[in-house]
Chain A
Amino acid sequence: MSADATSDRISEVSKKFGISPEDYMLPARHMINLLNPDGTLRPENEQGTEPGHEYPLPSPARLMEAYAALVTGRRVNDQNSALVRQGRMAVYPSSHGQEACQIAAALCLEENDWLFPTYRDTVAVLTKGVAPMEVMTSFRGEWHCGYDPKAYKCAPMSTPLTTQLLHAVGVAHAAKLRGENTVVVAMCGDGATSEGDFHEALNFAAVFNLPVIFFVQNNKYAISVPLSQQSAAPSLAHKAVGYGMAGERVDGNDLMALMAIMTRAVRMAREGNGPLLIEAHTYRMQAHTNADDDKRYREDSEVQAWIAKDPVTRMKAYLEDAGLLTDEAADRIAQDAEEVAKTLRDGMNQDANTDPRELFEHVYSTKSTQLVEQQALLADELDREEA
């Protein structure tokens, strides 16, 4: 590798856009925002786009597909929160308010592309195709993630912050070495950008020129700590420059803008232009989890102000005005969402019935003598209990 390979790559990409490497790597001066909160399309000169930072509008069919997933995502969040209140689930970190990010992150990928989600990305995992009850496995108190990551090309939802970003880098690296065209989206939150693995993952991805899109949902809080106490960077997207990759900011409650940005990001990554960092500005409408009390660290008025920017009502208004969302289509979409909610209700109302003997089965590819002994000990206890 030559000493300046990375800068060579950036120079080449920026040349394609006819801009300087700095202008390519730096986020556009304004956040990319295509739809106003009331659902009207912003004038072209107010979308935040500029040379090299242009994002073609998604097709109507694509928008309808995304909107349907958005409605389902909202329904899933609300259903799961209700199940927690009813005591059917111990914990659920809701992405209420962040559903547009969730949908775009998963929907921009093709079947063989990988998604690396966090614990708050249930809706993204669902959108990637994982069956609803499989997604919920760990939240209902099971000991495993519930789905086959290889079958869905979706990693287990990661609880340790940003550790999964490096796994995303590794998956992309292995694919690249085999000459496969895989793109990987790695998700994390604003607080997570302070973690060391965030830095190491972005650096590795850039050095090895890997097709990874780092997708940061900046929902303004890391549990209770606001972004201002998390980072002194001009924006989280600006961090990209330090690694030799491009960063961009987008309105994270604007599904149209998110779809436009993520679609281009995936295409750019697939074409070999290296990793990208996308910062989506959104807001966590609910507490960190049901165990958290957000009244201790933020004003209710602040939360209320974000209701007006809701991603679902915004997209709905646009699609209705554009004549795309007919009453009939809206009914069908609502019905589909209700189906998923019903699946969750029915599934969660059944007990998991895990056999504790299974806890020894997958620690290693074959059980050690010691684990065989310990499993037998537990089995004996259980047998005596059942007798």
Chain B
Amino acid sequence: MTATTSSVNPNVSAATARAAAKAANENQPVTFGKALNTALADALVADDSVVIFGEDVGTLGGVFRITDGLTARFGSERCFDTPLAESGIVGMAVGMAINGMRPVIEMQFDAFAYPAFEQVASHVAKMRNRTQGKLSLPMVIRIPYAGGVGGVEHHCDSSEAYYAHTPGLKVFTPSCVEDAYLMLREAIDSDDPVVFFEPKKLYWSKEQVDLEDLARSYEAQKSARTEGRARIARSGSDATLITYGPSVSTALDAAKMAAEEGISLEVIDIRSIVPFDDETVSASVRKTGRAIVVAEAQGFASVASEIVARVQERCFHSLAAPVLRVTGFDIPYPAPTLEKFHLPSAERILDAVDQLQWEA
């Protein structure tokens, strides 16, 4: 890191950059990755205490380019590379958060975050409690996760359950472009540490979203719109698919196919795994009477298991069939050529739908 601050006024350059972007991108669809990148940039503009660091996030802009251009625009004191050490990155972020900053750090890949687990489980999650709220850790740990991109070993894990199991952490995972922006802004502004899971396979997905409008509406919002709030991604009446992150698009595909067969599936996108929105999930299941939880992660002792338990505790008398799960198998994430057999597919979801004890 150099000792000099960027001489660029981020506010002026932000306006210029936005104007240029608007001219170029009028009516152009926006990628999930660009929404995250814009959320980071807008957060850097909005709050001087936001700093971004990690492996290759500076000059390179991250291996997935999510921090692209941030060092050039905001200077190397706001977005910088660190030595290659995940525990070091998380541990340093803890100290910076203790001392008034809002670090947003990147773990390069899901499985590469494991060396930092002690810092996350023993300190990130517990510092507020240990100090009776005197030290809060407003930090975001961004983790590109899950498969579907032909990644090699250690690059495709769905590791959300480890973090969701740990009290003191919030766990978010967006599944659409709008949420990518909104949820990252909310995560950065949260006074609690957030583990932010970004489904890699969605980085290049595109939607028609006006990021400037979204930014304005975010700046105007008074309370969290996505934290602790599940989203009804598709309305339906016969059964509920409860899912999150990379599996939302698969569930939506399944719902579309089911509709052709005359079955109406509701799709709930959990998006905020912690805190969990029991209300929205329960309301949907009470309405439909049938539910399937869909997730890429291995099913045993998983977030999907937790959701099943919560649904049957709350909706037992409304259920017409046992709550089923369609998850990854309980095997290590397979090699690229075999991942399609492991991942929940729309077909596998529809097979599960068939088993929901429909009356003849």
Contacts and interface: CB of A to CB of B under 8 A. Distances in A.
Interface residues of A, number: 42
Contacts of B87: 166, 196-197, 200
Interface in B273-288: 274-276, 278-279
B129 A204 contact: no
A369 B228 contact: yes
Interface stretch (A169-177, A280-288, A322-330): A169-177
A227 interface: no
A218 interface: no
Interface stretch (B24-32, B118-126, B152-160, B247-255): B118-126
B76 to A, nearest CB: 8
A236 interface: no
A130 interface: no
B60 interface: no
Interface in B113-133: 115, 118-119, 122-123, 127-133
A172 B92 CA distance: 9
A203 B88 contact: yes
B168 A363 contact: yes
B191 interface: yes
A204 B105 CA distance: 15
Contacts of A197: 87-88, 91, 118-119
Interface in B69-119: 76-77, 82-83, 85, 87-88, 90-101, 103, 115, 118-119
Interface stretch (A29-37, A76-84, A91-99, A141-149): A141-149
B130 A177 contact: no
B88 A166 contact: yes
B352 interface: no
A363 B128 contact: yes
A274 interface: no
A167 B168 contact: no
Contacts of B2: 1
A88 B101 CA distance: 40
Contacts, number: 141
A362 B128 contact: yes
A177 B228 contact: no
Interface in B123-173: 123, 127-136, 167-168, 170
B194 to A, nearest CB: 11
Contact of B278 (A165, A171, A369): A369
Contact of B99 (A163, A171, A208): A171
A163 B122 contact: yes
Contact of B95 (A156, A173, A196, A363): A173
Given A169-B95, A364-B168, A174 B101 contact: yes
B132 A362 contact: yes
B98 A166 contact: no
Nearest to A162: B91
Interface in A171-186: 171-175, 177-178
Contacts of B118: 160, 163, 197
A166 B92 contact: yes
Nearest to B167: A363
A157 to B, nearest CB: 10
A365 B192 contact: yes
A207 B83 contact: yes
A171 B123 contact: no
A124 interface: no
A368 interface: yes
A201 interface: yes
A170 B94 contact: yes
A144 B95 contact: no
B128 A148 contact: no
A365 B101 CA distance: 17
Contacts of B76: 1
Nearest to A208: B1
Contacts of B323: none
Given A166-B119, A370-B278, A172 B95 contact: yes
* Size bin of chain B's contact surface: 35 or more
A147 to B, nearest CB: 8
A169 B128 CA distance: 19
B45 to A, nearest CB: 17
Contact of A167 (B123, B170, B278): B123
Contacts of A368: 228, 274-276
B66 interface: no
Contact of B51 (A149, A155, A177): A177
Contacts of A172: 95
A150 interface: yes
A168 interface: yes
A204 B131 contact: no
A168 B99 CA distance: 10
Contact of B135 (A149, A163, A370): A149
Contacts of B122: 160, 163
Interface string A344-373: 000000000000000001111100111000
Contact of B88 (A155, A204, A363, A369): A204
B170 A170 contact: no
Contacts of A160: 118, 122-123
A165 B135 CA distance: 17
A22 B103 CA distance: 35
A200 B134 contact: no
Given A160-B122, A163-B122, A196-B115, A171 B83 contact: no
B51 A364 contact: no
Interface string A223-241: 0000000000000000000
B132 A170 contact: no
A68 B40 CA distance: 52
B321 to A, nearest CB: 26
Contact of B98 (A143, A145, A171): A171
B163 to A, nearest CB: 14
Contacts of A203: 83, 85, 88
Given A169-B92, A207-B83, A362-B133, 7 more contacts: A149-B131, A166-B88, A167-B92, A169-B88, A170-B93, A200-B88, A203-B85
15 contacts: A148-B131, A148-B134, A163-B119, A163-B122, A166-B94, A166-B95, A169-B95, A170-B91, A174-B95, A177-B77, A196-B87, A204-B88, A361-B132, A363-B167, A369-B275
Interface of A: 1, 114, 143-145, 148-151, 155-156, 160, 163, 165-175, 177-178, 196-197, 200-201, 203-204, 207-208, 361-365, 368-370
Interface of B: 1-2, 51, 76-77, 82-83, 85, 87-88, 90-101, 103, 115, 118-119, 122-123, 127-136, 167-168, 170, 190-192, 228, 274-276, 278-279
Nearest first, the 3 A-B pairs at minimum CB distance are: A170-B95, A166-B91, A200-B88
